[in-house]
Structure 1
Amino acid sequence: MTLLVSIPLSSPLGQRIAFVQHLMSMAVVEAVRTLPGYEDIELKVKWPNDIYYSNLMKLGGVLVNSTLMGKTFHILIGCGFNVANSNPTICINDLICEHNKRYNGRLPALRVDTLIGRSVTALERLIHVFQKEGPDGVLPSYYKYWVHSGQQIRLGGEDGPLAWIVGVDDSGFLQILQEGKDVVTVHPDGNSFDMIRNLIIPKHS
């Protein structure tokens, strides 16, 4: 699906526009996991814009294109998530089926139109909360659903220094902690397919 959202530049979200991709990923996860009975379906968010089954495989993603016209961001949000196609990896209804087998449950499979509607409604709510409370209004829920809690990474590549992901900053970028050092913000290197594997610490002049 593709959504068009307008965000005033002067608003809290307009000042932190990178958060839009995080909010959309969250909205898809919440569309499933806020349904009664579906709370434990292992749908999660991976920074910056992926939807995952646990920390194992991707089943959706978000692409955001923003254009500033005057004092308003006009944002095209492209979002795809696999609801019912078991190939080439896994789908949301597979997760529900596995959950039913494991816990002897009878949760029905979900429909594409239902999840699109619930995702759009969740995004509207998350934008409203962000505009009212800023990052603090949404980050507790984001951390509840993300895959990175306590995750170890190598900065800059496989031979880089070891660090731990500790959260995101007020602009939506990852924060990491290197042993014996302070928490710093990191960015993707701009060239790699797997953003988490090749993070860099930006140089400040």
Structure 2
Amino acid sequence: MMYKIPQEIGLIAIAVQQTQGKGRGGNIWLSPVGAALSTIHITIPLSSQLGQRIPFIQHLVSLAVVESVRSIPGYQDIDLRVKWPNDIYYSDLMKLGGVLVHSTLMGNTFHILIGCGFNVNNSNPTICINDLIMEHNKANNTNLKPLSVDCLIARSVTVLENLINTFQEKGPNGVLPLYYKYWVHSGKQVQLGSDEGPMAWIVGVDDSGFLQVHEEGKDIVTVHPDGNSFDMLKNLIIPKQH
């Protein structure tokens, strides 16, 4: 059905609760009432800037969620961040959302299904955005109001549309400054390959959206997530195989 939808028409499905949510590597993501749960269908021309760099979509979606909160006047210091490749985090401490992207190439057009879930008003199973707002109010003697699921889904979709348009016009450099502003990896070290592997500094992402790291005395290396063996909480990454 999605392949027959006119390109000028957007499609989004929203759930109140899910028990069979899919994560990366076959993981299950359980989402109670109070989480923002949606699947969006978009089309991207193969020949476009983003069509040539499809892995960037997951980065744009997680960035859109963070920006949907931190672009609200007064909420800019809520410590919501992006974690490469597809997670939404409270600082660098705790995951509160994630993104899963499926792409299908039909002719010269990518049909993209973007699954996105993030905790807004549910303190379990981890932490939620309204918890962060309450903590901010206590620490700063402010009176920011809690945010609603509907509001943040709408804002994140609008921000995503703007990010995609910017990327299509300017390429990766059009969005990376904002991405780096919010990502958790600045100045962080990771271990390559295994628990006994060498240490490397995270540099940034390349033009295809893969992570770049620098091992002392060597060239910059491109790495990628490799199922459940990729674990930034354990600072472990896998070198990309060419």
Is 1:190 the equivalent of 2:230?
no
SS at the partner of 2:146? coil
Is 1:62 the equivalent of 2:99?
yes
The answer to whether the 8 Å contact 2:231/2:237 transfers is no
What TM-score, normalized to structure 1?
A: 0.96
Is 1:6 the equivalent of 2:47?
no
More displaced 10-residue stretch of structure 1: 6-15 or 184-193 = 184-193
Residue identity in the other structure for 2:192: L
What TM-score, normalized to structure 2?
A: 0.82
The answer to whether the 8 Å contact 1:189/1:195 transfers is no
Compute the displacement of 1:187 (Å): 1.6
SS at the partner of 1:58? strand
Is 1:201 the equivalent of 2:239?
yes
SS at the partner of 2:67? helix
The answer to whether the 8 Å contact 2:102/2:114 transfers is yes
Q: What's the % identity of the aligned pairs?
A: 73
1:87-106 aligned within 5 A: 87-106=124-143
Residue identity in the other structure for 2:240: P
> Structure 1 residues 43, 147: closer, same or farther in 2, change over 3 A?
same
Per-residue CA distance 1:134-166 (angstroms, 9 max, x = gap): 000000000000000011110012110000101
The answer to whether the 8 Å contact 1:188/1:198 transfers is no
May I ask how many residue pairs the two structures share in their alignment?
Answer: 204
- Structure 1: give runs of 5+ residues left out of the alignment: none
Is 1:20 the equivalent of 2:57?
yes
Compute the displacement of 1:199 (Å): 1.9
SS at the partner of 2:227? coil
Q: Distance in 1 between matches of 2:159 and 2:152?
A: 10
> Structure 1 residues 176, 104: closer, same or farther in 2, change over 3 A?
same
Q: Distance in 2 between matches of 1:145 and 1:109?
A: 21
Is 1:74 the equivalent of 2:111?
yes
Compute the displacement of 1:195 (Å): 5.5
Q: Distance in 2 between matches of 1:66 and 1:31?
A: 24
Compute the displacement of 1:184 (Å): 1.5
Compute the displacement of 1:188 (Å): 2.1
1:142-157 aligned within 5 A: 142-157=179-194
The answer to whether the 8 Å contact 2:53/2:207 transfers is yes
Q: Distance in 2 between matches of 1:203 and 1:95?
A: 39
SS at the partner of 1:80? strand
Compute the displacement of 1:122 (Å): 0.2
Across the aligned residues of Structure 1 and Structure 2, the Cα RMSD in angstroms comes to 1.2
In structure 1, the partner of 2:78 is 41
SS at the partner of 1:40? coil
Q: Distance in 1 between matches of 2:159 and 2:94?
A: 23
